[in-house]
């Protein structure tokens, strides 16, 4: 990539530039086509769980505007599009034969992408568990993993050869720890032991799903998307160093080690020993299923984290960190850590610190410590307080800056030896941002929710230019061209 100042910085040929969405966040039409109820329908309709009581009932109305949205992906010039399948559209009650209307919708996506020369990257599970399975206990129950494998097989049978890449799970950490630990996500349970058991059954379900996909469709390229984050210690005090290691264990190693080394990290097994059922649910043979070889690893990256030991919040504050008033985050209190942040660093509308170096760091770490399989950045992006200007445009220079910085980090990691082969912006369009409802906009495309009109933002044109050039253009060139 080495380029003199002012030159374009090129990506390798065929670098998989894409954009991503997820079913519950964009589709709407929650009762159409025989779709069953998911845990996110239940959760978002429970008072107090989402910002403003927002739900995904209508979302971006993507289910009904599919062709228009696929045209947008084509206009973006994306070489790949990452979408997720809503499990309750395929199996409304989480078991039994596939619902043909549900399969049809995703067949239309796959074929619509292929006809536009865009590679379909399909995620099987982006958090919308059929409610019927939650009623039987959800991911803390082993049977959910078997149900997931059955569902994976059904989707593979029907869409098999059209799909370019398969992602079993999106961010199992969030499903397990936000869903069953802190309760910030559906199904809203706050129980560390259940979160740990859910972690194992998600990973076991992943392994079983990989088998199911490959037995139906042997040539399938299969991976998983993990949200990985570098964890920094607030100070070099040994207690803070140990605190950062515990968070790294929970956030990163708890997933990377079983997937790529066939074991759970011993410090984490010890830590969660007293939280029943926790990892007592692991059975002989499970880790072999979890650690079978993958074709690629997906990494979702947004921001790093900094923590102090819970007993050292005064010291962290004394050296200048902002120490947020402790909210009742069960995951952190169980790990005996205090999340902190350094004031005056650039942050997104989510409050997430902008630190592209963290992405390069994680890319290099997985290559060095865990796996040689190719890596895709399956999500990266930022929410900012965008608005439609009187001239009808949406100017989002901060998002362009964020994406540019992170794409540079991708190239740096490549130079340092990471086999990173693709990058997907989160997200193609503004959408239902889970507990934050519609209050956070991550899109390259603005969605006017009352009318569902789509307006490509400046970042859309910037990204299209980047993909077309297969290079990062110097900033001056880009901005003048955006409004030429
Ligand atoms: C990730 C999720 C994605 C979106 C982004 C902002 O954790 O996978 O659905 O919400 O965060």
Mutational test site, ligand 1, from 251, 425, 426, max ligand atoms within 8 Å of CB: 426
How far is residue 375's CA from residue 296's CA, in Å, rounded to a whole number? Answer: 6
Closest atom of ligand 1 relative to the 442 alpha carbon: 6
Q: Which stretches of 310-374 are assigned E, i.e. beta strand?
A: 337-340
Q: How far is the CA of 480 from the centre of ligand 1 (A)?
A: 31
Closest atom of ligand 1 relative to the 350 alpha carbon: 6
How far is residue 251's CA from residue 265's CA, in Å, rounded to a whole number? Answer: 12
Closest atom of ligand 1 relative to the 433 alpha carbon: 10
- Residues facing 19 on adjacent strands: 81, 425
Q: How far is the CA of 52 from the centre of ligand 1 (A)?
A: 19
- pLDDT, position 7: 82
Mutational test site, ligand 1, from 184, 434, 440, max ligand atoms within 8 Å of CB: 434
Q: How far is the CA of 300 from the centre of ligand 1 (A)?
A: 8
Of 152, 159, 167, nearest to 82 (Cα)? 167
| Ligand 1 pocket list (CB less than 6 A) | 22, 25, 170-171, 174, 227, 300, 379, 426, 433-434, 442
Of 374, 348, 384, 351, nearest to 457 (Cα)? 384
Q: How far is the CA of 433 from the centre of ligand 1 (A)?
A: 7
How far is residue 18's CA from residue 78's CA, in Å, rounded to a whole number? Answer: 5
- pLDDT, position 1: 43
How far is residue 70's CA from residue 131's CA, in Å, rounded to a whole number? Answer: 29
DSSP string over 190-242:
--HHHHHHHHHHHHHHHHHHHHHHHHH-TT--EEEEEE---EEESSSSHHHHH
For residues 191 and 176, is the Cβ–Cβ distance under 8 A? no
Q: How far is the CA of 238 from the centre of ligand 1 (A)?
A: 33
Of 421, 378, 463, nearest to 122 (Cα)? 378
Q: Which helix (H) or strand (E) holds 20?
A: strand 16-20
Closest atom of ligand 1 relative to the 25 alpha carbon: 9
Q: Whose CA is nearest to atom 5 of ligand 1?
A: 426
Q: Whose CA is nearest to atom 4 of ligand 1?
A: 433
Pair of tokens at residue 357? 């170096």
Question: Which residues are catalytically annotated?
Answer: 171, 379
DSSP string over 367-428:
IIII--S-EEEEEE---------TTS----HHHHHHHHHHHHHHHHHHHTT--EEEEEEE-S
Q: How far is the CA of 380 from the centre of ligand 1 (A)?
A: 9
- pLDDT, position 484: 47
- pLDDT, position 3: 44
Mutational test site, ligand 1, from 185, 226, 349, 379, max ligand atoms within 8 Å of CB: 379
Q: Which helix (H) or strand (E) holds 269?
A: helix 266-271
Q: Along the 484 residues of the chain, how does pLDDT read in single tens digits?
A: 444 447 889 999 999 999 999 999 999 999 999 999 999 999 999 999 999 999 999 999 999 999 999 999 999 999 999 999 999 999 999 999 999 999 999 999 999 999 999 999 999 999 999 999 999 999 999 999 999 999 999 999 999 899 999 999 999 999 999 999 999 999 999 999 999 999 999 999 999 999 999 999 999 999 999 999 999 999 999 999 999 999 999 999 999 999 999 999 999 999 999 999 999 999 999 999 999 999 999 999 999 999 999 999 999 999 999 998 766 689 999 999 999 999 989 999 999 999 999 999 999 999 999 999 999 999 999 999 999 999 999 999 999 999 999 999 999 999 999 999 999 999 999 999 999 999 999 999 999 999 999 999 999 999 999 999 999 988 767 655 566 4
> Which burial class, exposed, middle or buried, applies to 285 when counting CB atoms under 10 A from its CB (0-12, 13-18, 19+)?
exposed
How far is residue 113's CA from residue 72's CA, in Å, rounded to a whole number? Answer: 11
For residues 281 and 208, is the Cβ–Cβ distance under 8 A? no
Q: Which helix (H) or strand (E) holds 134?
A: helix 131-135
For residues 247 and 335, is the Cβ–Cβ distance under 8 A? yes
Q: How far is the CA of 455 from the centre of ligand 1 (A)?
A: 21
Mutational test site, ligand 1, from 83, 123, 171, max ligand atoms within 8 Å of CB: 171
């Amino acid at each position: 990539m080495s380029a003199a100042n002012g030159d374009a910085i090129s990506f390798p040929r065929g670098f998989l530039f894409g954009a991503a969405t997820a079913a519950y966040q964009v589709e709407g039409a929650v009762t159409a086509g025989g779709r069953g109820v998911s845990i996110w329908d239940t959760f978002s309709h429970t008072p107090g769980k989402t910002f403003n009581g927002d739900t995904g009932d209508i979302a971006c109305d993507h289910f009904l505007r599919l062709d228009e949205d696929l045209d947008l992906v084509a206009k973006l010039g994306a070489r790949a599009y990452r979408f997720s399948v809503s499990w309750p559209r395929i199996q409304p009650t989480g078991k039994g034969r596939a619902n043909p209307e549900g399969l049809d919708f995703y067949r239309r996506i796959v074929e619509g992408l292929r006809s536009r020369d865009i590679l379909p990257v399909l995620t099987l599970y982006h958090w919308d568990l059929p409610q019927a399975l939650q009623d039987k206990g959800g991911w803390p129950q082993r049977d959910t993993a078997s149900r997931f494998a059955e569902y994976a097989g059904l989707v593979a049978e029907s869409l098999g050869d059209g799909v370019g890449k398969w992602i079993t799970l999106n961010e199992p950490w969030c499903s397990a720890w936000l869903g069953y630990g802190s309760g910030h996500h559906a199904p809203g349970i706050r129980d560390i032991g259940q979160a740990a058991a859910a972690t194992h059954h998600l990973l076991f379900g992943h392994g079983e799903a990989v088998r199911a996909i490959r037995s139906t469709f042997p040539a399938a390229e299969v991976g998983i998307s993990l949200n990985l984050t570098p964890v920094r210690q607030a100070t070099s005090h040994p207690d803070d160093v140990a605190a950062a290691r515990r968070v790294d264990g929970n956030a990163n190693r708890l997933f990377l080690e079983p997937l790529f080394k066939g074991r759970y990290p011993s410090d984490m097994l010890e830590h969660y020993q007293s939280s029943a059922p926790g990892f007592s649910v692991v059975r002989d043979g499970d880790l072999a299923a979890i650690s079978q070889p993958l074709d690629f690893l997906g990494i979702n990256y947004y921001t790093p984290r900094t923590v102090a030991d819970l007993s050292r919040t005064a010291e962290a504050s004394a050296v200048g960190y902002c120490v947020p008033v402790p909210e009742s985050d069960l995951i952190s209190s169980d790990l005996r850590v205090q999340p902190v942040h350094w004031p005056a660093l650039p942050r997104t509308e989510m409050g997430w610190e902008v630190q592209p170096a963290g992405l390069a760091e994680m890319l290099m770490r997985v290559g060095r410590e865990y796996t040689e399989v190719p890596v895709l950045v399956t999500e990266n992006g930022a929410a900012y307080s965008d608005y439609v200007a009187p001239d009808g445009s949406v100017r989002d220079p901060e998002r362009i800056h964020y994406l540019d910085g992170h794409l540079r980090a991708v190239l740096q990691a490549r130079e340092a030896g990471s086999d990173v082969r693709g990058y997907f912006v989160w997200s193609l369009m503004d959408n239902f941002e889970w507990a934050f409802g519609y209050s956070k906009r991550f899109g390259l495309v603005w969605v006017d929710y009352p009318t569902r009109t789509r307006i490509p933002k400046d970042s859309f044109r910037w990204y299209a230019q980047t993909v077309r050039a297969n290079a990062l253009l110097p900033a001056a060139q880009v901005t003048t061209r955006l409004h030429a």
